[in-house]
Amino acid sequence: MATNANEAAHGAADAAHAAETGGMPQIDFATFPNQIFWLVVTIVVIYLILSRVALPRIGSVLAERQGTITNDIAAAEELKLKAQEAEAAYNQALADARVEAQKIIAEAKAEIQIGLDEATAKADAEIAAKAAESEKKIGEVRAGALEAVTEVAKDTAAEIIGMLDQKADAAVVSEAVNARLKG
C-alpha cells in the first residue's frame, strides 16, 4: 500500500510538473495563438520593410553599380577607339609624308632629268655640229687630196708622155686619168 501511495504521489507530482511546464513547450497549444499572432506581425513588418525600402534600394544600388561599370567599360572602349583612330591618323600622316617625299623626290629627279636631257641634247648637238664640221673638213681635205692626186697623175702622165716624146693632148690625158681613177 505504501508503495502504491508513493506512486500515486509521484504520479500527481508528475502531472503537476507536466501542467507546469507543459511537457514539451513546442506542443503547448496554449501558446500557439500568441506565437502565430506575433509571427504574422513580424513577417508583415519584415515584408513591408524589405519590399518598400530595403530591396528597391539595394536593387537600385546594384543596378547603378552595374551601370557605372558598363559606362566605364564603354568609356574605356571609346578611349581605346580614339587611341586607335589617333594611331591610324598618325600612320596616315606618315604615309602621306612618305608619299609627298616620294613625289618631291620624283619631281626633283624629273627636273634634273630634264636639265640633264637638255644638256645632253645640247652637247649632242654641239658634238654633232662639230662632227659635221670635221666631216666637212675631212671631206674637203679628202676632195683636195683627190684633186691633187688627179692633178699629180695628169701632170705625171703628161710628163711621161712628154718624155716619150710625144705631144700630149691635155684633154685626152685628163680624160684617161679620170677614167683610170674611176676604174
Residue 54 within binding range of other proteins, rule CB under 8 A: yes
Cα–Cα distance, 85 to 92 (Å, whole number)? 10
Torsion of CA 4, 6, 7, 10, to 10 degrees: 160
If one counts every other C-beta atom within 10 angstroms of the C-beta of residue 157, the result is 18
DSSP 24: S
- Of 59 and 162, nearer to other proteins (C-beta) is 59
Residue 33 within binding range of other proteins, rule CB under 8 A: yes
Binder of other proteins out of 9, 12, 15, 40 (CB under 8 A):
40
Contacts made by residues 96-104, CB under 8 angstroms, sequence distance 24+: none
**Contact range with other proteins by CB under 8 A, out of 51-59, 105-113, 154-162, 171-179:** 51-59
| CB of residue 76 to other proteins, shortest distance in Å | 17
**Contact range with other proteins by CB under 8 A, out of 36-44, 102-110, 150-158, 166-174:** 36-44
| CB of residue 67 to other proteins, shortest distance in Å | 9
Binder of other proteins out of 60, 71, 92, 113 (CB under 8 A):
60
Side-chain half-sphere CA neighbours of 143 within 13 A:
6
Residue 16 within binding range of other proteins, rule CB under 8 A: no
- Of 9 and 83, nearer to other proteins (C-beta) is 9
Residue 25 within binding range of other proteins, rule CB under 8 A: yes
Cα–Cα distance, 154 to 12 (Å, whole number)? 191
Contact 159, 147 (CB under 8 A): no
Residue 152 within binding range of other proteins, rule CB under 8 A: no
Side-chain half-sphere CA neighbours of 70 within 13 A:
6
Footprint of other proteins on this chain (CB under 8 A)? 3, 7, 10-11, 14, 17, 21-28, 30-43, 45-47, 49-51, 53-55, 57-62, 64-65, 68
